[in-house]
Amino acid sequence: MRNMIASVFVLFAAGFSGLANAVPLQINNGTFSVTTHPNPEFVAHGPTAMYKAYLKYGKTPPPALLRTVTDYRAQKKAKRESGSVVTTPEVLDQAWLTPVQIGTPGQTLNLDFDSGSSDLWVFSSSTPASQSRGHSVFSPGKSSTAKESPGYTWSITYGDGSSSSGTVYTDVVDVGGLSFPSQAVETANRVSPEFTQETNLDGLLGLGFSTINAVKPTAQNTFFDNIKSDLNQPLWTVDLKHQEPGTYNFGNINSSLHTGEIHYAIVNTRRGFWTFTATSYSVGGAIGGSITGIADTGTTLALLPTAVAKAYYSKVPDALYDNSQGGYVFPCAASLPDFTFTVGGGEITIPGNYINYAPLTPGSKTCFGGIQGNTGIGEVIFGDVALKSAFVVFENSGDTARIGWAKK
Ligand SMILES: C[C@@H](SC(=N)N)c1ccc(Cl)cc1
Ligand SMILES: C[C@@H](SC(=N)N)c1ccc(Cl)cc1
């Protein structure tokens, strides 16, 4: 009702201010009429009308439930949003884990934000204790806002052979102050031993494209796809750091996190990954050709075309491909060359010391490389070893997706 009055006023004011495009008032013998139109922006919402009536006429304050319904609408219209959260590396930078609040009251789980997959799944009260020992779990029964998605199931096997599966709820998920009220939360009924053993990891938050979400019978949206329309900008950024905490941001680019200009490349979303092309690479001054691969926060190493890995380790004295280890190894004392790749016209350099990934076993004098060939993997993967050398922008404006890389 108030909006109707407002729109009449606007028309009225326009008339008096004589705006060229206003309808002139007809004033005949001291009377006049003015036409009024319903406000096209107005969206009828009973509870909000009731809430306003309580505020205007009520002897008592609006009932709490009415307030939550209208607050949600008010918040939904709130200014466009952004969020920031710290992410912490596991030992040897194997994966980075980020606290996420799920349900009401919020249950905090540490999730692996993974741009190489598109499911948000968690250890849950339905995961057998023998598999969830040592993990935080999500208990939908303790969340007043959890809703079961009957008949929905999921099952995933990752590239390294680890796997998990279960059923689906929707609940509020909060990442760095950004919350979505009905995020699909995939609860695990089972997880493979790799997940059980990784006790800091309580689940994954997929940041790939929702087209490869594994929920049956209906694929669900990722957290990013769900909140994207509320964000200042349709993007998220990652700033992983070598053996120290970094940040994930949603909705804005924090210019203090990078020093160089951001260089963008177009992303091919056909496979559901952030697939892009580096136009060239160089090792110790030798220039190589283009590399097309995926930017994958969920994979530890850089798994590059076998010819590229071979070219790299040809510059490392005493490096060899060790079949028993499944990759290139070298003396831990070796000084490794940098690996530079060009993307979007800008150069990103992976420092040699990031490519000395770790001793084969604690104390061994033989070390395993952070760059490996992608033999038998089917993807070329710019994993954490590459990502932690840059500030990276993952932008999806809807019709085009881009990835931006900057020095930091
Ligand atoms: C795309 C990643 S898995 C992930 N980031 N969810 C991947 C695929 C295949 C192999 Cl062999 C290793 C890793
Ligand atoms: C449970 C671990 S196993 C591992 N750290 N390779 C895992 C598997 C797949 C992804 Cl995408 C992320 C983490």
| Mean residue pLDDT across the chain | 90
- What is the structure's pLDDT at 61? 76
Sequence-ordered list of residues with C-beta below 8 angstroms from that of 175, at least 6 positions apart, any chain = 83, 85, 98, 100, 101, 205, 223, 248, 250
206 alpha carbon – ligand 1 mean position (Å): 12
Please tell me the residue having the least CA distance from ligand 2 atom 9: 158
Q: What is the pLDDT of residue 45?
A: 77
Minimum mean pLDDT range among 77-91, 112-126, 193-207, 330-344:
77-91
Q: What is the pLDDT of residue 279?
A: 98
pLDDT at 284 over 80: yes
Crossing angle of the two packed helices 46-57 and 64-76, in degrees rounded to 10? 120
- Cα 330 from chain centre: 35
Average pLDDT for 322-329? 98
What is the predicted pLDDT for the residue at 32? 58
Q: Whose CA is closest to atom 8 on ligand 2? A: 162
Query: What percentage of the chain reaches a pLDDT higher than 90?
Result: 79
At 58 the pLDDT is 73
Q: Average pLDDT in the 20-30 region?
A: 55
What mean pLDDT comes out for the span 353-371? 98
Q: Is the pLDDT at 363 greater than 50, yes or no?
A: yes
Q: Note the pLDDT of residue 42.
A: 73
Q: What is the percent of the chain with per-residue pLDDT over 70, rounded to a whole number? A: 87
- Compute, in angstroms, the gap from residue 268 CA to the centroid of ligand 2: 24
Of 155, 212, 381, 394, which is best to mutate to test ligand 1, by the most ligand atoms within 8 angstroms of its C-beta?
381
Is residue 49's pLDDT more than 90?
no
The best mutation among 155, 296, 303, 306 to test binding of ligand 1, ranked by most ligand atoms within 8 Å of the C-beta, falls on 296
Residues with CB under 6 A from ligand 2: 94-95, 112, 114, 116-117, 158, 160, 162, 194-195, 198, 201, 298
Closest CA to ligand 1's atom 4: 116
Query: Distance from the CA of 245 to the center of ligand 1, in angstroms?
Result: 23
pLDDT of residue 79: 63
On the question of pLDDT at 16 being above 60, the answer is no
Which ligand is located closest to the Cα atom of residue 273?
1
pLDDT computed for residue 273 by the predictor: 98
Q: Which atom of ligand 2 is closest in space to residue 198's alpha carbon?
A: 1
pLDDT of residue 6: 37
pTM: 0.83
Instruction: Tell me what pLDDT residue 55 has.
Output: 74
Report the length, in residues, of the chain.
408
Which residue, 110, 191, 205, is CA-closest to 155? Answer: 191
Helix (H), strand (E), coil (C) string for the chain: CHHHHHHHHHHHHHHHCCCCCCCCCEEECCEEECCCCCCCCCCCCHHHHHHHHHHHHCCCCCCHHHHHHHHHHHHHCCCCECEEEEEEECHHHCCEEEEEEECCCCEEEEEEEECCCCCEEECECCCCHHHHCCCCCECHHHCCCCEEEEEEEEEEECCCCCEEEEEEEEEEEEECCEEEEEEEEEEEEEECHHHHHCCCCCEEEECCCHHHCCCECCCCCCHHHHHHHHECCCEEEEEEECCEEEEEEECCCCHHHCCCCCEEEECECCCCCCEEEECEEEECCEEECCEEEEECCCCCCEEECHHHHHHHHCCCCCCEEECCCCEEEEECCCCCCCEEEEECCEEEEECHHHHEEEECCCCCCEEEECEEECCCCCCCEECHHHHCCCEEEEEECCCCEEEEEECC
Burial of 304 (0-12, 13-18, 19+ CB in 10 A): buried
**pLDDT, position 7:** 37
Give the ligand 2 atom nearest the CA of 160: 6
pLDDT tens digits for range 178-214: 999 999 999 999 999 999 999 999 999 999 999 999 9
Nearest CA owner, ligand 1 atom 1: 116
Interval 53-63 mean pLDDT? 77
| Residue 380 CA to ligand 1 centre (angstroms) | 9
Question: Is the CB–ligand 1 distance for residue 383 below 6 Å?
Answer: no
Give 378's pLDDT tier (boundaries 50, 70, 90): confident
Show which residues are catalytic: 114, 296
Strand 203-206 with 107-114, pairing: parallel
List own/partner pairs for 242-247 with CB under 8 A and 24 or more apart.
242/93, 242/353, 242/354, 242/388, 243/89, 243/93, 244/89, 245/86, 245/87, 245/88, 245/89, 246/86, 246/87, 246/89, 246/96, 246/388, 247/84, 247/85, 247/86, 247/87
Q: Is 159 in the pocket of ligand 1 (CB under 6 A)?
A: yes
- The residue nearest atom 8 of ligand 1, judged by CA position, is 159
Q: Residue 117 CA: which ligand 1 atom is closest?
A: 6
**Maximal C-alpha separation, the chain:** 104
- Reply yes or no on whether the pLDDT at 13 is more than 90: no
